Copies of this chain bind each other. A is one copy, B any other.
């Protein structure tokens, strides 16, 4: 195992210390329970929080800041955070307008966020939740009943964060989050496995000439394992199931997100974006907004995912609204 780490058991806390040192203007890190809380957030707004296992950086801690998340709960690598973290985050951001939990559909995350929501409710904090489940690859998976929550989560956090910043109430934030999830679909693939520091060896075996199509963000099995193909074919393998599933239709405008899994260089992501753009154009679908980069990752896994969200004026305006977080920033 080759990693830029000290002891495996300290990776998350040491990376959090780096976040705290780098971004004191944007966030504060609290330990035990570990949470990342936005600095100077106004109290008179709906609090937006998310969380999940670490190893997917910049998600979620890198999205804490103006116009996106008010707090994030980082679990151990590829491990759900515990309810204490979610409760502490909920308490930290509660300003009386309620708190929205954005939860990716993994059994541990869902269960623990539910428990935290119950505990918060018992304290009189109004909590609503949305569960993202945008991965079209498989219906059930290693740690998931139903579909997995993946790339849409990033885009949803931006869009709902903008609405909360603009004063939307809790019910509106929840409805908006459900809309984005319902209009979004994703699928990913891996060229290589990744190694959880504690485990010390790759999470799965992938021969030198094969790739996993439909892989999960923890290396969970996808739809099938096939020989490595050309970028144009890989793009078809990902875009095809996404387009069929919603389905996306001629004339649709989409936010297209080409995401790197952590070990994939940007030159390849732009090449994949070119392939995706050709496929969409050929289907009469136009990309009205885009995001290209490694935003929901799986440690050093090589590979990529596509996410498409069907856009309208409301979503476009919220996407374009100013944001200032460690990982996403524009308009300020």
Please report A residues at the B interface, Cβ cutoff 8 Å.
2-7, 11-12, 14-19, 21-22, 54-55, 57-58, 62, 191-192, 208, 211, 228, 230-232, 234, 262-275, 277, 287, 290, 292, 294, 297, 299-300, 302-304, 326, 329-332
User: Can you list 15 contacts pairing A with B, beta carbon distance less than 8 Å?
Assistant: A2-B211, A4-B234, A5-B231, A6-B271, A14-B231, A15-B270, A18-B273, A21-B277, A55-B265, A58-B266, A62-B266, A262-B265, A263-B302, A264-B300, A294-B294
Chain B residues near A192: list those with CB within 8 A.
Answer: 2
Known A14-B275, A57-B270, A263-B264; 8 more pairs at CB < 8 Å: A2-B228, A3-B268, A4-B191, A6-B231, A18-B271, A19-B270, A22-B273, A263-B302
| Residue in chain B with minimal CB distance to A277 | B21
Chain B residues near A6: list those with CB within 8 A.
Answer: 230-232, 271
A315 to chain B, nearest CB (A): 19
A272 to chain B, nearest CB (A): 5
Copies of this protein in the assembly total 2
| Residue in chain B with minimal CB distance to A19 | B270
A320 to chain B, nearest CB (A): 12
Chain B residues near A274: list those with CB within 8 A.
Answer: 14-15, 17-18, 21
Max chain B C-beta neighbours (<10 A), residue from A16, A19, A274: A274
Max chain B C-beta neighbours (<10 A), residue from A4, A15, A271, A304: A4
Chain B residues near A21: list those with CB within 8 A.
Answer: 273-274, 277, 287
Chain B residues near A57: list those with CB within 8 A.
Answer: 265-267, 270
A23 to chain B, nearest CB (A): 8
Bound together, the chains give a CA A3 to CA B263 distance in angstroms of 11
A29 to chain B, nearest CB (A): 11
Considering the complex of A and B, which 6 residue pairs feature the smallest CB-CB distances, nearest first? A18-B270, A18-B274, A4-B268, A57-B266, A18-B273, A2-B191
Chain B residues near A15: list those with CB within 8 A.
Answer: 267-268, 270-271, 274
Chain B residues near A331: list those with CB within 8 A.
Answer: 332
Is the Cβ of B266 less than 8 Å from the Cβ of A2? no
Bound together, the chains give a CA A332 to CA B2 distance in angstroms of 39
Set B5, B11, B231, B332: member contacting A4, Cβ < 8 A = B231
